[in-house]
Amino acid sequence: MISAASALLAVVQLLLAAAARRTGPAGRLTALLGGALAYDSAVVAAGVLLGEGRVLETLSAGRFVVHVLGTPLVVPCAVLALRAGRPALRAAWAAAAALTALGAATTVQGLHLVPRTWAGTLRYVDADPGAFPAAAVLAILVLLAIGVTAWIRQGTPWIALGAFAVFAASAAAFTAPPLGNLGEALMLAGLVATLRGVRTRPQPAPTARP
């Protein structure tokens, strides 16, 4: 049941990625992020079919890479979705680069994967997770700050709601791991809704110069 739900979630994430891509250049990065999240869900779904072994272990290692590289991308994705200016985008990419470096140092280094089952699913997880996922938490907090600011200043709530959803789901994922994937899908939906909403928002008419 959970494997089938993860497969369905992967399809939904791919559809959201396609929807982001159709919004134009601003949505390309969100589309890439959506594809990465769909990969994560698809590996969880395929675990019981592939069984323990090198193939699933390698694909699972890719899940960790996806999170290290993909999670910080939510910051420039949000800035692009809001059509913010170049200074904001440069700051977003700088934050993403710093968070990626932090995630690589605290997550990938010394990674040792072991198989683990949960509710009929089979995954490879870090044998000694130990370290607090500081990079992922900071990325979502930055996303939340961007979203709340956009909600207050522009009346655009979707990024904030998506950030709230993924933050709550990630906390619950310690006891029910697939909830983390669900939270990521809701976060992605928030970015896509923002992309579509900002794109279709009427632009103010230019004022005539005296």
- Determine the average pLDDT of the residues in 191-209: 67
Q: Into how many domains does the chain fold?
A: 1
Q: Give the pLDDT score at 208.
A: 43
Residue 165 domain-assigned (yes or no) = yes
Question: CA 78, CA 26: separation in Å to the nearest integer?
Answer: 10
CB contact at 8 A, 71 and 135: yes
Question: CA 179, CA 156: separation in Å to the nearest integer?
Answer: 25
Domain that includes residue 88, residue range: 2-199
Structure letter (DSSP) for residue 109: T
CB contact at 8 A, 78 and 147: yes
Question: Residue 122 belongs to what H/E stretch?
Answer: strand 121-126
Per-residue pLDDT of 103-139, as tens digits, reads: 888 877 777 888 988 888 888 888 776 667 788 889 9
Residue 127 backbone phi and psi in degrees, to 5: -65, -30
Largest CA distance in the chain: 73
Per-residue pLDDT of 15-61, as tens digits, reads: 999 999 999 998 999 999 999 999 999 999 999 999 999 999 999 98
| CATH of residue 109 | 1.20.1070
